[in-house]
Structure 1
């Protein structure tokens, strides 16, 4: 190789070293830090390999964070710790989730400290700390994900913090939307604290609606028209017969005019009154829907907790249901007339209206109005949308009341099928079905269903064997009344005794025993092969055999 080539190679080598040194310097300069996306898509700057993102001023932020975290570990919640947090939260709110873990601990501690001062507590400072706690739950979800989880956790504190603030009533619709959003999303998993707050807010919103409506009812023009309607009604009814046909006709026209004017006044009120415009949607229909919504979630949680034998959860959700009954249902003047007339009229206009059907069914059960004219039809609509075994049994009961045994049998059979995961309920419903078969005179089917009940759950055997014994005891007229055989005609009582013995029903055993053949009858008919202790064929629908015994 000539000298020129050697020289050029040397230059290239030196240049390579220089470039490498320059690249190394740049690597040291940015310290390997990168930008990353937060959970909400915003950019986190100055992120290292451990997952800490220090923002623009890396060294200062690191120093502040070290100071802050050390103080938090030492439970030093003084002003210098607050200042360090504020710097970090302002300049790099995405540092690490620990900023929010420590931050929540810090502000809850400060809040507790200030609240304990009672009469000397700074209310503005308390509000500031409370708002910061709520904000930190929002921000943690924003930067580190699981926003839904942290929103639900925030809900546990929100109502507690804001319920006594001066602007609470003004912001009720906002708080309602917040808690309704949680309940819609979390469903059966909604925290009981959030549902408790939700119930309270629903009740307060309806109170606001009622206050707004009072403005309309207290208006002098409204009062005048309502008074005119009442006066007209008294004339139109003409209970004492003192008004002429012309007077009745005159006041009928006055009533129609007053009712028309009342509608006009109400329309004008709705359009012009700010309070009514704000709260008009939180009326009685809305409140009924809210009651059903809360009751559904509470009911599912109670059932789940009972199945898991979690007494604490049963108690918590029973409290929620009690709140709904008291504070929501308590404001609804619902009775049988309300169900049959108002809800009934709505259902009659649209028999496919599932929402109204659910209300008629649910309220009728709670208010003991199941004899209403729309209850059965509403139950059928609800069942079609969501087939449930218990509802099938209720529908069967309605057909029993109507003495439609065939339909009752059909629905009891559906109930048994739907109770597939609950053998005890299958057994109980089978006994009900057996009784219906007996009512139709189908004793063989009745007995078979009673035996089926024992197959489902042996715990019901006493009731089932007693029922079969009753079937046998009641079969004398059907099977043996016209018999000329004084021994064989008593076979049904012997068979009944056998069933009662299996059931351990001593009183019924004694009653059956009194109907056994007499010793003299057995002796007289000995030529037929009768003898005490020998087998006796029963015959008729009962079939089989029993042991011949005599009455005591």
Structure 2
């Protein structure tokens, strides 16, 4: 029996081993692999189509089929939600379709709940909103293009959170989020994201002002400010009733009070949470924010206008209007502010490009370009960021000051910087030619007008008309004292030639009225004059023209 049992046991072991080998050899490879998600995490059970089913392949496939079928049928039942939750919890990396469908699902649920209005479950609405935001984050996490989906998330974030109880508390967090998008996307920032950004900037400054009110209302602060005000009246000494010793005394008191306010500010920031949290969102910060928003809005308006996209122009004009109203509206900026506060800051550091830009930008908006620091600030900006627009701007200011030499210098810089735009070079050359004429440099003015035509022939009518005007205006300079009634009319004959090239019939007629008369030509025939003959013009004009008679 023992030998028989041993034999049977050995037989069974061999049979089982053979069967296992046979089954193993017959079992096909399921072809599933592991892959890396965009964030570097591991996705399991991935097939050739890009679906990653995780470890429970069959169950996940079943859940996904049920979920996707229901979504295609727009069946947003609890069973559909449960199927999504299973997939989202166990295989968040299954496929990008999970996020496409998931966003569709939760936006539909959110819409349905919101339509209930007063009967709506606010907690449920917040839950759905947070899920939408989270899905945008995680789509980027698992499937890439995180920046794109963050920008898309921004379109919903402000709308969802602006009425929540913790919104004001979290303002710095939301500011960081939207500023990050605007810094990254730049001129491509979506207008809805920029709209949210403007609103958050404005609210942050309001929080700053509230925090500062607490500091300003502190009795110790008020006492020191009173000392400063009193000292200022003595130092100014408008009526001349204070002695030098008194002025010196109050100057010291003012300095001590300012130092004490600085100490109080430090102490207040340490002890007051709001002051500490919002202190950096002050007027200087707000001015920077206004410039930042206006720069992006302005560039988008230019792009939209060039592309003739009326809706985009309207959208970005709305953003600029918001910035003007809600940001600039909180800044009491006028010519005195620019010339005194910003001017003093710029005077202390003439290399401060940020302050220089503010002086230029605000001066233009507030029509304070005659201020004492405008040109200097504009030149500082130009040195850092040379553009033809700035060169033209500076030239224009020198024209207003009747400093033609400096105006010419800056027009020349503008022409050089317009090297990629021949049309602008031509237009600016005409401006420069006019400046040469203003200085009485008619020959240089003519040469510059010819250069304008070389840059762009489309400006030839204006250029030739300008040259004709130069000739017409040269009578007193060149021929007024001449005793030759024919020769002295040469400037008008030459002007007619220029007007003819310009196709300017009205000015041709004006020049004709100044041609020599038939009697003048007849009287001076001994000099070789004759209608239709060539005649030298002379003076700075030079060259020759055809002798014609007054009509």
Normalised TM-score (structure 1): 0.90
C-alpha distance in structure 2 between counterparts of 1:362 and 1:281, whole Å? 22
Please name the residue that 1:182 is paired with. Answer: 181
Q: Would you say 1:227 and 2:195 are equivalent positions?
A: no
**Per-residue deviation, residues 354-392 of structure 1 (Å, max 9, x unmatched):** 222222222222222222222222222222222211111
Please name the residue that 1:207 is paired with. Answer: 206
Please name the residue that 1:540 is paired with. Answer: 539
Superposed, 1:16-415 pairs within 5 Å as: 21-24=22-25, 27=28, 31-235=30-234, 237=236, 239=238, 255-415=254-414
Shift of 1:159: 0.7
Deviates more, 1:336-345 or 1:271-280: 336-345
SS at match of 1:45: strand
**Per-residue deviation, residues 120-153 of structure 1 (Å, max 9, x unmatched):** 2111111111111000001111111111111111
Please name the residue that 2:6 is paired with. Answer: none
Summarize the Cα distance change of 1:253–1:288 in structure 2 as closer, same or farther, 3 Å threshold.
closer
Give the paired residue count. 538
Shift of 1:510: 4.2
Summarize the Cα distance change of 1:304–1:144 in structure 2 as closer, same or farther, 3 Å threshold.
same
Q: Would you say 1:447 and 2:446 are equivalent positions?
A: yes
Shift of 1:491: 0.8
SS at match of 1:148: helix
Shift of 1:488: 0.7
C-alpha distance in structure 2 between counterparts of 1:16 and 1:528, whole Å? 133
SS at match of 2:514: coil
C-alpha distance in structure 1 between counterparts of 2:114 and 2:457, whole Å? 61
Please name the residue that 1:3 is paired with. Answer: none
SS at match of 1:109: helix
SS at match of 1:352: coil
Superposed, 1:410-429 pairs within 5 Å as: 410-429=409-428
Deviates more, 1:90-99 or 1:338-347: 338-347
Please name the residue that 2:467 is paired with. Answer: 468
Please name the residue that 2:4 is paired with. Answer: none
Deviates more, 1:466-475 or 1:364-373: 364-373
Shift of 1:118: 1.6
Please name the residue that 2:11 is paired with. Answer: none
C-alpha distance in structure 1 between counterparts of 2:245 and 2:206, whole Å? 45
C-alpha distance in structure 1 between counterparts of 2:57 and 2:165, whole Å? 42
Please name the residue that 2:431 is paired with. Answer: 432
Please name the residue that 2:7 is paired with. Answer: none
Shift of 1:315: 2.2
Q: Which runs of 5+ in 1 are unaligned?
A: 1-12
Summarize the Cα distance change of 1:492–1:14 in structure 2 as closer, same or farther, 3 Å threshold.
farther
Shift of 1:253: 5.7
Q: Would you say 1:551 and 2:550 are equivalent positions?
A: yes
Shift of 1:111: 0.9
Summarize the Cα distance change of 1:54–1:228 in structure 2 as closer, same or farther, 3 Å threshold.
same
C-alpha distance in structure 1 between counterparts of 2:336 and 2:257, whole Å? 26
C-alpha distance in structure 1 between counterparts of 2:28 and 2:99, whole Å? 31
Shift of 1:400: 3.0
SS at match of 1:36: strand
Summarize the Cα distance change of 1:346–1:74 in structure 2 as closer, same or farther, 3 Å threshold.
same
C-alpha distance in structure 2 between counterparts of 1:15 and 1:116, whole Å? 66
C-alpha distance in structure 2 between counterparts of 1:445 and 1:551, whole Å? 30
Deviates more, 1:42-51 or 1:463-472: 42-51
Please name the residue that 2:9 is paired with. Answer: none
